[in-house]
Amino acid sequence: MPTLVEPKLIAGNANKPLAEAIGRRMSLYRGKSVGLVDARVERFNDSEIFVEVFENVRGEDMFVIQPTSNPANDNLMELLIIADALRRSSAARITAVIPYFGYARQDRRTKARTPISAKLVANMMVTAGIERILTMDLHAAQIQGFFDIPVDNLYASPIFALDIKNQFDDLSDVMVISPDVGGVARARELAKRINAPLAIVDKRREKPGEVAEMTVIGDVTGKRCIIVDDMCDTAGTLCKAAEVLLDHGATEAHAYISHGVMSGPAVGRVTNSVLKTLVLTDSIQPTEAVKGAPNIRILPTAPMFAQSILNIWNGTSVSSLFETDSLGPIYEGIL
């Protein structure tokens, strides 16, 4: 169906390099320039956020690119205020492109008298005028149900599979590892894509952020192990899991993580760990420390997000990008 309006991109300050890269990829796909809408997102002296859009957006299909990563509250408020500014400027549709969805770990009540913050954030986004969400690797799939608007949840596993096939000459001794029981479905998806066996590291936590005990479920002897997870925060669990795998006979330990939160001592832990490589996506803007770490690599998500935005704009399938046949050509020459 022909579209009368152009897709327009606008970005907050959370990950400007990714937003600009998405614009460049869209320009390449369309054969015409797609840049970021001219706007300013600034702070007053008391840290209040102010947004001003300098271009006409009346009747336009707007895509706001803004991961809600650290500082989560500031970046979330930027997203909400940008959406409000666009809604009051008569934009036809507002889609929030949130490569990393903050507050996703607070998706249920784990104890009495605790919030479900992910649901609260969903309500705030809808109230601000956002009509569609495009995100990647939600921490919990049920968060999609927190919204009464369409949610497209992309997956990093197809990108990981393409990279693994390029990086590992022989996949016969490769094994995919889930770092906990809750991540088995994610690990199984990647294992199917590269036709590799699956094992699990069962962990028991005494309290959040601390792991008391780890047990390997499966035989990892002589295997090059690839740990796959949706996020790496302080990297304590990840580095300990790598040590446990080597203690159980694995020859190498690698990790593929969708979102590199990398807070606190994470970079130092990874650099000094037994991990041969840690591969992150750029859903969260990497710090200079992350970029400079010798055993950390960054995979681009701009090609996938650019094609997803174009598919949403055109009214075509986004789920087609879950398949290697569709995503492979987009990443040809990149990975």
Give me the DSSP letters along 7-29: EEEEE-SS-HHHHHHHHHHHHHH
Strands (E), 140-294: 151-154, 174-178, 198-207, 210-217, 224-232, 252-260, 277-281
| Tens-digit pLDDT profile for residues 21-48 | 999 999 999 999 999 999 999 999 999 9
Residue 335 is predicted with a pLDDT of: 83
Candidates 32, 111, 119, 203; catalytic one: 203
The C-alpha angle with vertex 109 and arms to 104 and 115, in degrees rounded to 5, equals 70
Between strands 252-260 and 224-232, the pairing is: parallel
pTM of this prediction?
0.94
Residue 1 is predicted with a pLDDT of: 39
Q: What is the mean pLDDT of residues 81-106?
A: 97
**pLDDT over 90 at 232, yes or no:** yes
Percentage of the chain lying above the pLDDT 70 cut? 96
Domains of the chain, CATH where assigned: 7-155+302-325 (3.40.50.2020), 157-299 (3.40.50.2020)
**pLDDT over 60 at 209, yes or no:** no
Residue 3 is predicted with a pLDDT of: 46
Can 203 be counted among the known catalytic residues? yes
Task: Give the C-alpha separation, 320 to 137, whole Å.
Answer: 16
User: 9 is written with which tokens?
Assistant: 């991109």
| Tens-digit pLDDT profile for residues 254-269 | 999 999 999 999 999 9
Percentage of the chain lying above the pLDDT 90 cut? 87
User: 6 is written with which tokens?
Assistant: 């152009």
Give the sheet arrangement for strand 252-260, strand by strand.
210-217, 198-207, 174-178, 224-232, 252-260, 277-281, 296-299
Please state, in angstroms and as integers, the Cα–Cα distance from residue 309 to each residue in 6, 23, 286, 306, following that order.
11, 10, 23, 5
User: 234 is written with which tokens?
Assistant: 């302080």
Helix residue ranges per DSSP H, 197-301: 236-247, 266-271, 288-292
Task: Give the C-alpha separation, 14 to 161, whole Å.
Answer: 27
Binding positions are 46-48, 105-106, 139, 180, 205, 229, 233-237
Q: Are 278 and 248 in contact (CB under 8 A)?
A: no
Cα Rg, the chain, nearest whole Å: 20
Residue in 5, 3, 6, 9 with CA at minimum distance from that of residue 96: 9
Mean pLDDT for all residues in the chain: 94
DSSP 8-class letter at 84: H
| Tens-digit pLDDT profile for residues 117-169 | 999 999 999 999 999 999 999 999 899 999 999 999 999 999 999 999 999 98
Which residue pairs from 201-209 have beta carbons closer than 8 angstroms and sit at least 24 positions apart in sequence?
Answer: 201/177, 201/227, 201/241, 201/244, 201/245, 203/179, 203/237, 203/241, 209/233, 209/234, 209/236
pLDDT bucket at 202, cuts 50 / 70 / 90: confident
pLDDT bucket at 82, cuts 50 / 70 / 90: very high
**pLDDT over 90 at 203, yes or no:** no
Task: Give the C-alpha separation, 171 to 42, whole Å.
Answer: 49
Residue 207 is predicted with a pLDDT of: 62
pLDDT bucket at 270, cuts 50 / 70 / 90: very high
